[in-house]
Amino acid sequence: MADEADTFGELANDEPFKSSIKKFHSSVDKIGESLQLCCGNDVYSNMSSEEKVEYDLFLSYSLNSLFWCYLRTQGVDPKQHGVKNELDRVRTYMARAKQVHDRKLMPRVDQEAAERFVTSGLWEPGQAKIKPKSARRSGNQVNKRKRFESDDEET
């Protein structure tokens, strides 16, 4: 009890305050352990470039957020501090990284397949067969069948 009185001073009898401070302290310890796990060099060297970007943004945002919390605990208004600009900058980079990632996942049109669908959809039985694109470019006819009269018909 004497140790708690030294730690909390005149607030030693305020149980809700003490429990909040203890929870805060354990949360800070957990965050520190998580950051230690994330900061290993072996993890970073095995990542792709896209994963490295996400990792760097995660660490930047996490550390700036922790500094924001530190400023709040010291009674400083973080909105008036330079850390706010840094957090905004990291957020814009996160949005840009998301755009780049989404662009890679965006569906693409297979132009050759679309052309085949259109030409086969427009073809009617009375029309001649439409030549494939490769045959139109080269001028050669593809799969041209020639009929020869057989000797059997003469007899």
Task: Give me the residue spans of the domains in the chain.
Answer: 14-46, 47-106
18, 12 contact by CB (below 8 A): yes
Calpha distance 109→101 (Å, rounded): 18
Reported as a single tens digit per residue, the pLDDT across 95-142 is 999 999 998 888 888 888 888 888 877 766 666 665 555 555 555 555
Q: Which two tokens stand for residue 62?
A: 């996490």
Instruction: Decide: residue 28, CB within 10 A, 0-12 exposed, 13-18 middle, 19+ buried.
Output: middle
Q: Which two tokens stand for residue 116?
A: 């085949």
Backbone φ and ψ of 33, nearest 5°: -65, -40
Instruction: Specify the pTM.
Output: 0.56
Reported as a single tens digit per residue, the pLDDT across 85-94 is 999 999 999 9
